[in-house]
Chains A and B, each alone.
Chain A
């Protein structure tokens, strides 16, 4: 079955630590996206990528970094510069840029 996988489901970060969230898709989609969701709120765009080796900042990119070395993978690193990282992180992909998006199951990041 085609889909998007995110791992881990839960992730704990210590102060000053960088952590990386995995996102993999086997839908052969060109575009991929990272969103942050805080309790009771909508989605905010962190980064997006139209094609391999290209990515752009979204609305809240500060304290985050990404890479897109392979079409199927779009990992997100939450750096120590992100002072309030506790949130639910959602990865999505679409066939064409900003076409219908398909979401992964999410990763919940908690700070110890």
Chain B
């Protein structure tokens, strides 16, 4: 079945460092891909999404490119801030195969220190 794999955390970075959180997926169809962010004690917020190969999603300085050839959707940000400390979830939705769910990765915790 479809699945999402994320790099294990926690990830700790200094402010202004470059961020990459790896996400790879397995899908038999052509899924839409998402990154969600969860701040401490809150619900998930959609950060960005891409619906087809080579699409780039971007928001708040974060970017991710849908790479069909490597089945990846890595999240990047050029310069992180303390306020970016949160848990990041990669997810996919494929109505043709995973007809009964959105599949979330386990989440990657990011801590940014001043």
Cβ–Cβ < 8 Å partners of B82 in chain A? none
**A interface footprint on B98-109 (CB within 8 Å = 1, 0 otherwise):** 111110111100
Cβ–Cβ < 8 Å partners of B99 in chain A? 98
Given contacts A102-B46, A103-B43, A103-B45, contact A58 B89 (CB under 8 A): no
Bound CA span A101–B44, Å: 9
- Report the minimum CB–CB distance from B100 to chain A (whole Å): 7
Contact (Cβ within 8 A) A98 B105: no
Chain A interface bracket (under 10, 10 to 19, 20 to 34, 35 or more): 20 to 34
Cβ–Cβ < 8 Å partners of B93 in chain A? 98-99
Bound CA span A24–B49, Å: 25
Cβ–Cβ < 8 Å partners of A59 in chain B? 101
Cβ–Cβ < 8 Å partners of A103 in chain B? 36, 43-45
CB within 8 Å of A: which residues of B? 32, 34, 36, 41-46, 49, 89, 93, 95, 98-102, 104-107
Question: What are the 10 A-B residue pairs with the smallest beta carbon separation, nearest first?
Answer: A103-B43, A103-B44, A42-B106, A106-B43, A43-B104, A105-B43, A42-B104, A98-B93, A104-B43, A90-B43
15 contacts between A and B (CB under 8 A): A6-B43, A41-B107, A42-B106, A43-B89, A43-B104, A45-B101, A58-B101, A90-B43, A98-B98, A98-B99, A100-B32, A100-B34, A100-B49, A103-B45, A106-B42
